[in-house]
Amino acid sequence: MSGQSLTDRIAAAQHSMTGSAISKAVCKATTHEVSGPKKKHLDYLIHCTNELNVSIPHLADTLLERTTSNSWIVVFKALITTHHLMMYGSERLMQYLASRNTLFNLNNFLDKAALQGYNMSTFIRRYSRYLNEKAMSYRLAAVDFTKMKRGAEGVMRTMNTEKLIKTLPIIQNQLDALLDFQPNSNELTNGVINTAFMLLFKDSIRLFAAYNEGVINMLGESEAQENALRICLT
């Protein structure tokens, strides 16, 4: 299937008539076209997250509503759009998503009707679990590990031992959920899953960096404590 479906065009027209620019942009970002969301729609939604007069709950709820579709394409693209906004949008969106009791409830999602439906449904379930874990990490740590300052003066390198002990398992859980996505190269068969894969790849690099810096800090703290103990004993 290529291009927007009749359903997509009707939905966009309805949102135009009701004057909901956000709903229209979400609809256009999550069409039945087998390709990633278009950049112009993502850029507009990112802009919306930074506007104080825009309702973040309305934007988030519109995206969540798209995940109730029976189409794997629409649901996958709604997850991708949400992930993209988590990465590049205002922190207000992440704060709202993390505050919700439930985010994506797609553990039983299955598209039996469409071409590639069975295969892509598996990745949708895994992807939604990762995004849930990403939001949970923010709720527990009040920070997005993929955006924090890194390096010698970074967050993980300057964190005290007590906080590190609590934080490293949170990063580990998020990494585990991300790595569970696990596509083979022959399963990256369309523009939708390829777009999701690239976002996950970017997150994985930043999460590994944050985790490694935390471990380095922890080892450094342990070594400093051992040296202090030796001084006390001599």
Helix (H) or strand (E) holding 47: helix 39-49
**pLDDT over threshold 50, residue 18:** no
CA separation for the pair 106, 67 (Å, rounded): 8
Q: What average pLDDT does the structure give for the chain?
A: 89
226: pLDDT confidence band, cut at 50, 70 and 90? very low
Share of the chain above pLDDT 70, in %: 86
Taking only the tens place, the pLDDT of each residue in 96-139 is 999 998 899 999 999 999 889 999 999 999 999 999 999 999 99
Q: What is the mean pLDDT of residues 212-226?
A: 75
Question: Residue 160: CA atoms inside 13 Å, Cβ hemisphere, count?
Answer: 2
Q: Which domains does the chain have, with CATH numbers?
A: 6-233 (1.25.40.90)
Report yes or no: 131 and 91 within 8 Å, Cβ to Cβ: no
This prediction has a pTM of 0.87
Tokens 């709202």, located at residue: 96
**pLDDT over threshold 60, residue 156:** yes
**What's the one-letter identity of residue 126?**
R
Share of the chain above pLDDT 90, in %: 79
224: pLDDT confidence band, cut at 50, 70 and 90? very low
Helix (H) or strand (E) holding 87: helix 72-88
What's the Cα-to-Cα distance from 63 to each of 60, 130, 133, rounded to whole Å?
5, 16, 17
Which candidate, 24, 50, 55, places its Cα nearest to that of 38?
24
CA separation for the pair 174, 200 (Å, rounded): 11
Q: At what angle do helices 191-233 and 117-141 cross, to 10 degrees?
A: 30
Q: What is the mean pLDDT of residues 169-181?
A: 97
Structure letter (DSSP) for residue 37: P
